[in-house]
């Protein structure tokens, strides 16, 4: 029996040119994402640092599936141990590189949100702050606060071109009193209940700062408390007429320092895009700034990023050229 032209053998599908091309493409896709013998050996060995390096290279070469498989060769406990001994900048970059390879935060290996927030809070890139417009006399409240915690937060004053613009700070001190009773020691040390005045001193500082392209008002306070009383001769209790608290100027300085700490806390998630990228801390801060600005953790590979700054940061960290600075 002769088969008609164009018919196929029972149980077999005709291989048209279009289907043949699709099968060839699928075969090439499968080959592209298979691990090479060298990559398989790396995965079997489980060296997390080497696996991250290999995953970066795979990402650059357009092989995200291989990058994912490579990083998954790093056990979560070994990855977290690597993060634990690294300085904040390097630790955050490890978190970001793992996330970039596995595809999403929360997958393993990776860093939990709480750990990422903790690392960001301790990063402290060098940031300059100052007025929106040059002023002949710096804000005394701001410069006083910088003198208290500026070095710890890595903040510096710049009256000409600051990275973060800060409006004039206003401060005040309130003194509140409340009549009450309290136990006061007599001449023998025995506590006696007598009328007292409870004092509460509250220093408040308020100021505006540009955060994420928006002007926000930040408020901070510092307080001190003490108790005074009149003499009670029949009980042998001497008077305590003056509350023992820091001076109003000292309370203002402490409140200003608290305001700067609040500013630093807000900047931890969204550093300024103009942050200095001449060191590792600044490079990671720039990645965080790009993420905050675009909503994309891999924004350092996008058009909004400064390619020269990114390339310089890759060299500083010894990363594969083109891998970017992945934010966690």
- Same domain, residue pair 156 and 253: yes
66 part of a folded domain:
yes
Instruction: Looking at the structure, tell me whether residues 105 and 161 fall in a common domain.
Output: no
Asked whether residue 13 is domain-assigned, the answer is no
Does any domain span residue 153? yes
SS3 labels along 122-186: CCCCCEEEECCCCCCCCCHHHHHHHHHHHHHHCEEECCCCCCEEECCCEEEEEEEEEEEEEEEEC
Q: Reply yes or no on whether the pLDDT at 276 is more than 50.
A: yes
In a domain, 260, yes or no: yes
Do 136 and 264 fall within a single domain? yes
Backbone angles phi, psi at 211, to 5 degrees: -130, 120
Q: Same domain for 246 and 308?
A: no
Confidence of residue 62 (pLDDT cuts 50, 70, 90): very high
pLDDT confidence of residue 30: 38
Q: Are residues 76 and 175 in the same domain?
A: no
How distant is the alpha carbon of residue 242 from its chain centre? 44
Same domain, 255 and 199: yes
Q: Determine which helix (DSSP H) or strand (DSSP E) holds 189, and give its type and residue range.
A: none
Q: What is the domain-level CATH number for residue 132?
A: 3.30.160
Does the pTM exceed 0.85? no
Examine the domain organization and report whether 262 and 133 are in the same domain: yes
Q: Residue 18 pLDDT > 70, yes or no? A: no
136 & 103 share domain: no
Q: What's the pLDDT score for residue 33?
A: 55
Report the DSSP beta bridge partners of residue 228: 197
135 and 202 in a single domain? The answer is yes
* pLDDT tens by residue, 83-134: 999 999 999 999 999 999 998 777 899 999 999 999 999 999 999 999 999 9
Q: Which structure tokens are listed for 53? A: 């390096």
Element (H, E) at 227: strand 214-228
Digit-coded pLDDT (tens) for 193-229: 999 999 999 999 999 999 988 999 999 999 999 999 9
Give the burial class of 12: count Cβ atoms within 10 A of its Cβ; 0-12 exposed, 13-18 middle, 19 or more buried: exposed
**Whether residue 80 sits in one domain with residue 153:** no
- pLDDT for 68 beyond 80: yes
Instruction: Tell me, yes or no, whether 41 and 149 share the same domain.
Output: no
Are 112 and 221 in the same domain?
Answer: no
At 30-43, the pLDDT tens digits run 344 578 998 998 88
pLDDT level of residue 29 (50, 70, 90 thresholds): very low
- Residue 3 placed within a domain: no
Domain that holds residue 97: 36-124+291-328
């Amino acid at each position: 029996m002769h088969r008609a032209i164009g018919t196929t053998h029972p149980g077999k599908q005709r291989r048209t040119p279009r289907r043949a091309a699709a099968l060839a493409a699928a075969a090439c896709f499968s080959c592209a994402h298979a691990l090479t013998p060298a990559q398989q050996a790396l995965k079997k060995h489980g060296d997390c640092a080497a696996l991250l390096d290999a995953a970066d290279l795979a990402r650059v070469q357009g092989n995200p599936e291989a990058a994912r498989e490579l990083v998954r060769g790093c056990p979560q406990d070994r990855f977290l141990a690597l993060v634990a001994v690294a300085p904040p900048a390097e630790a955050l970059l490890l978190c970001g590189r793992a996330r970039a390879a596995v595809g999403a935060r929360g997958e393993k290996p990776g860093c939990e949100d709480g750990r990422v927030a903790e690392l960001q809070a301790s990063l402290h890139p060098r940031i300059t702050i100052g007025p929106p417009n040059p002023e002949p006399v710096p804000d005394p409240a701001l410069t006083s606060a910088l003198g208290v915690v500026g070095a710890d937060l890595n903040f510096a004053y710049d009256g000409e071109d600051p990275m973060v613009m800060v409006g004039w700070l206003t401060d005040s001190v309130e003194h509140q009193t409340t009549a009450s009773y309290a136990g006061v020691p007599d001449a023998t040390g025995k506590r006696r209940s007598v009328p007292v005045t409870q004092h509460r001193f509250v220093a408040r500082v308020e100021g505006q700062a540009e955060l994420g392209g928006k002007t926000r008002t930040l408020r901070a306070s510092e307080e001190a408390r003490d108790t005074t009383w009149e003499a009670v001769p029949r009980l042998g209790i001497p008077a305590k007429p003056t509350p023992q608290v820091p001076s109003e100027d000292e309370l203002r300085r402490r409140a200003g320092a608290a305001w700067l700490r609040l500013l630093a806390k807000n900047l931890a998630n969204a550093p300024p895009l103009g942050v200095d990228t001449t060191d590792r801390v600044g490079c990671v801060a720039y990645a965080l700034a790009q993420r905050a600005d675009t909503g994309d953790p891999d924004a350092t590979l996008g058009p909004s990023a400064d390619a020269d700054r990114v390339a310089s940061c890759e060299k500083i960290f010894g990363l594969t050229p083109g891998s970017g600075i992945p934010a966690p």
